């Protein structure tokens, strides 16, 4: 489904890479390249990263795999995140923390560019809000990156509307990546998606399936709802959950973390379905175990 707010800069379905490396499937260079090519052929051209994925190793593996794919850099979009500093001996950190100092942001982006083997990021996100972040220092760092052409646009991840507003006073925020799913439905009701609509911010949903399908024994009401939706919309269950997200007028961009090409195809099918309003609330009620108030 496409809405008037759908961002032309990114594919509606974004391919997440967190599980491609040592935190998940530990894909080989050939396997990385194969999945990049398969996603690209389906029109999934946006790839989501973070510097910390695979304990700071997944971006390097992706960069090597992308080079092997032979695809042009201009035909795809790279998103990455920085700001979480994991305890890491090679980096000299002993405590997990957040760091949004000027030099840390610049150094993080420079490393990501080198590891992804690219000259620029299409979008840089601040990974999680820090209680110590200084909006002025962040603005100076991001402006430097924009001026140098190292990033094309800037956004946030896991920021509340009030935290986003603080950053917006100094910078244009083009995206906010947050947990949104049938299971994590708070953004639909707590003002987070309203804020995106109001300020033309592209919402991106991490964990869009909410881990629901890993439960081998679903509540009877939810099992019944899935069975009915499968017949009505001719979709797999993972596609149903994505189509449910895509119903929102803010044009949510789900970030799918699968490494299975078949799931890419399922995700693509969700884009062609316009969930009926009553079905949207029916699925929500089936998961919650009660109707809306």
pLDDT above 50 (res 4): no
Give per-residue pLDDT as tens, 232-288: 999 999 999 999 999 999 999 999 999 999 999 999 999 989 999 999 999 999 999
pLDDT, mean of residues 155-163:
97
User: Cβ of 51: how many Cβ atoms within 10 Å?
Assistant: 23
212 lies in some domain: yes
Helix orientation angle between 135-147 and 161-168, rounded to the nearest 10 degrees: 60
Q: Is 53 a catalytic residue?
A: yes
Is position 224 within any domain? Answer: no
CATH number at residue 121: 3.20.20.100
Active-site choice (10, 53, 56, 100): 53
Find the mean pLDDT for residues 93-109: 97
pLDDT for 293: 81
Report pLDDT for 5: 54
- Give pLDDT tens digits for 15-68: 999 999 999 999 999 999 999 999 999 999 999 999 999 999 999 999 999 999
Pairing of strands 202-206, 175-179: parallel
> Residue 2 pLDDT more than 50?
no
Residue 227 lies in a domain: no
Cβ-based neighbours of 117, under 8 Å, separated by 6 or more: 63, 64, 66, 67
Number of other residues whose CB lies within 10 A of the CB of residue 18: 18
In a domain, 170, yes or no: yes
Give the chain's domain count. 1
pLDDT reported for residue 124 = 98
Q: What is the pLDDT of residue 230?
A: 97
- Give, in degrees to the nearest 5, the angle at Cα 115 between 205 and 93: 80
Domain span including residue 82 = 14-216+250-273
Q: Which residue has the tokens 């150094």?
A: 107
Q: Is residue 142 part of a domain?
A: yes
| Angle CA 243–247–250, to nearest 5 | 125
What pLDDT was estimated at residue 135?
Answer: 96
* Cα separation, 272 vs 275, whole angstroms: 10
Is 278 within the bounds of a domain? no
Residue 81 covered by a domain: yes
Q: Which pLDDT score, from 0 to 100, does residue 65 have? A: 98
**In this predicted structure, what is the pLDDT of residue 7?**
66
239-240-244 Cα angle (round to 5)? 115
Q: What's the pLDDT at 292? A: 87
Residue 1 has pLDDT above 50, yes or no: no
Condensed to tens digits (0 to 9), the pLDDT of residues 166-219 reads 999 989 999 999 999 999 999 999 999 999 999 999 999 999 999 999 988 999
Higher pLDDT, 77 or 89: 77
Distance CA 122, CA 217 (A): 41
Per-residue pLDDT, 215:
86
Question: Is 279 a member of any domain?
Answer: no
Q: Judge contact between 116 and 146, C-beta under 8 A.
A: no
Q: How far is Cα of residue 10 from the mean position of the Cα atoms in its chain?
A: 11
């Amino acid at each position: 489904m496409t809405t008037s707010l759908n961002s032309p800069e990114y594919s509606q379905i974004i391919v997440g890479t967190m599980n491609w490396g040592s935190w998940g499937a530990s894909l080989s260079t050939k396997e990385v390249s194969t999945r990049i090519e398969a996603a690209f052929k389906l029109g999934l051209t946006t790839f989501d990263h973070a510097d910390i994925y695979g304990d700071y190793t997944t971006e390097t593996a992706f960069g090597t795999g992308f080079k092997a794919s032979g695809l042009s850099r201009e035909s795809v979009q790279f998103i990455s995140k920085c700001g979480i500093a994991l305890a890491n001996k090679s980096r000299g950190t002993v405590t997990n923390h957040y760091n949004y100092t000027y030099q840390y942001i610049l150094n993080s982006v420079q490393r990501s560019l080198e590891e992804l083997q690219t000259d620029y990021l299409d979008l840089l996100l601040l990974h999680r809000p820090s209680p110590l972040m200084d909006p002025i220092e962040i603005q100076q760092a991001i402006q430097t990156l924009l001026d140098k052409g190292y990033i094309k646009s800037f956004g946030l991840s896991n920021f509340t509307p009030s935290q986003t507003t603080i950053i917006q006073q100094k910078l244009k925020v083009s995206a906010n990546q947050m947990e949104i799913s049938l299971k994590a439905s708070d953004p639909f009701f707590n003002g987070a998606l309203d804020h995106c609509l109001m300020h033309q911010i592209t919402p991106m949903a991490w964990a869009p399936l909410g881990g629901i399908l890993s439960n081998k024994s679903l509540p009877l009401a939810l099992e019944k709802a899935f069975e009915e939706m499968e017949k009505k919309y001719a979709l797999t269950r993972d596609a149903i959950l994505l189509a449910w997200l895509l119903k929102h007028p803010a044009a949510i961009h789900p970030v799918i973390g699968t490494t299975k090409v078949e799931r890419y195809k399922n995700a693509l099918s969700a884009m062609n379905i316009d969930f009926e309003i009553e079905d949207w609330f029916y699925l929500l009620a089936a998961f919650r175990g009660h109707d809306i108030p």
